[in-house]
Amino acid sequence: MKRRPFLKQISLLAAATPIACSLGATGSAPSEASSPVVLRDESGEKKKLGVALVGLGYYSLKELGPALNLTADCYLAGVVTGDPEVKGKQWAKEYGFPEKNIYNYENFDSIKDNPDIDIVYVVLPNSMHEEFTVRSAKAGKHVICEKPLAMNPAECQRMIDACKAANVKFGVGYRCRYDPYTIATIEKAEERGSDNIHFIRSHAGYQMGENLEQWRLQKALAGTGALGNMGVYALQGAIYAAGENPISVSAQEFKTDPIKFDETDETVTFQLTFPSGAVANCATSHNAFMNDLRIDYTGGAYIDIDQFSAYRGQSGKTNQGPMDYPKVNQQQLQMDAFARHVRDGEPNLVPGEMGMRDMQIIEAILLSIKEGGKTISLKDLVF
């Protein structure tokens, strides 16, 4: 593997994240963040863009909020919550934003008049992604929406259209794109030359807790089960590794607990083929732990990453030795990159269209399962 360009990018990452490694996701803010200062440059332009998190559940509390204490190009400027009185005020106090920047789901549209908020980050159950993305766009705010982007490609298209019509930027919360181990696979795909890929293995899943009421088990709120939640990581890993979109997919579904998983999929395996001839075997589950990505190239070359889609704790090796990259905060890098996309016109590496492409492939996976594992050709992918 040619390492030079990759190391260059990694060292830039490290320079940009001086405290990322030392701070865990505690949900509490370091003291210097208690009164975010909106720095402006000489022309009066904002240097740090204001982000409002919509939905203050697990991911906002444990990962995005703490990451917004580390970001250089954006900061937490407000929240949208079903509990503005208690939760909203707690967040305002902890992160030092004014209480006028707390919204509920009903008065959310008035965010359009709030100049503190530049970016709305939708962190709600999947069935609410479309509504809040469209409302954010109509309010003139740039949008990051969590994965899976929506319930189906038609919803994704409406979200993309709404952002285009409002002339706002649109990104997906695909944090792994900013992880050094994932970047290594992307760079290898770009540089591999005659090193053809023989096989990709990409697995992402976990065993869900026993709470049968959780929204991830409800089709109306989640859409799919493991497939949309963790399968997107397996899919993304395979596509990054191949460096091209797949041209066909076949899939199988397995259920060992039909009571718990009466509405949503439990374990799904799917196989992708790529124009170069590469093949990927992928798996995802809500009932088994799996998190690894392995790519085998011509001549015995390989990349083998453990925990590739985890928030942290990646490790890996190649045929040339251990992969040993700096620890980063993926969410910090992801949100800063989006803020620079909005502010400075830097490329958006995870645009809404990428989220829609993945929903198109998920739709084909569901069709293959329905048709007994039939191979479905993937045409008209939007990205």
Site map (CB under 6 A) of ligand NAD, residues 247-266, x = contact: --------------------
Three-state secondary structure call for residue 125: coil
217 binds ligand NAD (CB under 6 A): no
Cα–Cα distance measured from residue 120 to residue 77, given in angstroms and rounded to the nearest whole number:
10
Pick between residue 82 and residue 299 the one whose CB is nearest to ligand NAD. 82
Pick between residue 148 and residue 271 the one whose CB is nearest to ligand NAD. 148
CA dihedral 115, 116, 119, 122 (to 10 degrees): -110
Three-state secondary structure call for residue 122: strand
Question: In this structure, what token pair is assigned to residue 106?
Answer: 């009903």
Judged by CB under 6 A, the residue of 46, 48, 147, 177 near ligand NAD is 147
As beta bridge partners, residue 248 has 273, 377
Residue 222 CB, nearest approach to ligand NAD (Å): 8
Q: Got the DSSP string for 283-335? A: EEESEEEEEEEEEEEGGG-EEEEESTTSSS--EEEETTEEE------HHHHHH
Cα–Cα distance measured from residue 169 to residue 132, given in angstroms and rounded to the nearest whole number:
14
Helix%, strand%, coil% for the chain, nearest 5: 40, 20, 40
Which residue out of 46, 48, 141, 147 is catalytically annotated? 147
Q: Restricting to residues 81-100, name those near ligand NAD by CB under 6 A.
A: 82
159 binds ligand NAD (CB under 6 A): no
Pick between residue 205 and residue 278 the one whose CB is nearest to ligand NAD. 205
Pick between residue 55 and residue 246 the one whose CB is nearest to ligand NAD. 55
Rounded to 5°, angle at Cα 13 from 181 and 32? 120
Name the residue number minimizing CB distance to ligand NAD: 57
Question: In this structure, what token pair is assigned to residue 373?
Answer: 């594992």
As beta bridge partners, residue 273 has 248, 279
Three-state secondary structure call for residue 231: helix
- Look up residue 99 and give its amino acid: E
126 binds ligand NAD (CB under 6 A): yes
DSSP single-letter state for residue 271 = E
Judged by CB under 6 A, the residue of 57, 98, 275, 326 near ligand NAD is 57
Pick between residue 3 and residue 327 the one whose CB is nearest to ligand NAD. 327
Which residue out of 121, 233, 297, 325 is catalytically annotated? 233
Q: Which residues, 6 or more positions from 236, have their beta carbon under 8 angstroms from its beta carbon? A: 174, 176, 177, 309, 358
Location of structure tokens 């204490």: 69
Location of structure tokens 């992880």: 179
Residue 26 CB, nearest approach to ligand NAD (Å): 16
* Known active-site residue 206: no
User: 316: how many CB neighbours lie within 10 A of its CB?
Assistant: 21
Size of the site for ligand NAD (CB under 6 A): 18
Pairing of strands 197-207, 287-297: antiparallel
Site map (CB under 6 A) of ligand NAD, residues 167-206, x = contact: ------x-x-------------------------------
Residue 351 CB, nearest approach to ligand NAD (Å): 16
Question: In this structure, what token pair is assigned to residue 376?
Answer: 């479905």
Pick between residue 25 and residue 378 the one whose CB is nearest to ligand NAD. 25
355 binds ligand NAD (CB under 6 A): no
DSSP single-letter state for residue 46 = B
Pick between residue 60 and residue 291 the one whose CB is nearest to ligand NAD. 60
Q: Which stretch binds ligand NAD (CB under 6 A): 119-127, 205-213, 270-278, 284-292?
A: 119-127
Judged by CB under 6 A, the residue of 55, 65, 237, 243 near ligand NAD is 55
Judged by CB under 6 A, the residue of 166, 221, 247, 290 near ligand NAD is 221
Pick between residue 57 and residue 277 the one whose CB is nearest to ligand NAD. 57
**Cis peptide upstream of residue 180 (ω within 30 degrees of 0):** no
Residue 223 CB, nearest approach to ligand NAD (Å): 10
* Known active-site residue 89: no
Q: Which residues bind ligand NAD (CB under 6 A)?
A: 55-60, 82, 123-126, 146-147, 173, 175, 215, 221, 229
**Residues acting as catalytic residues:** 147, 233
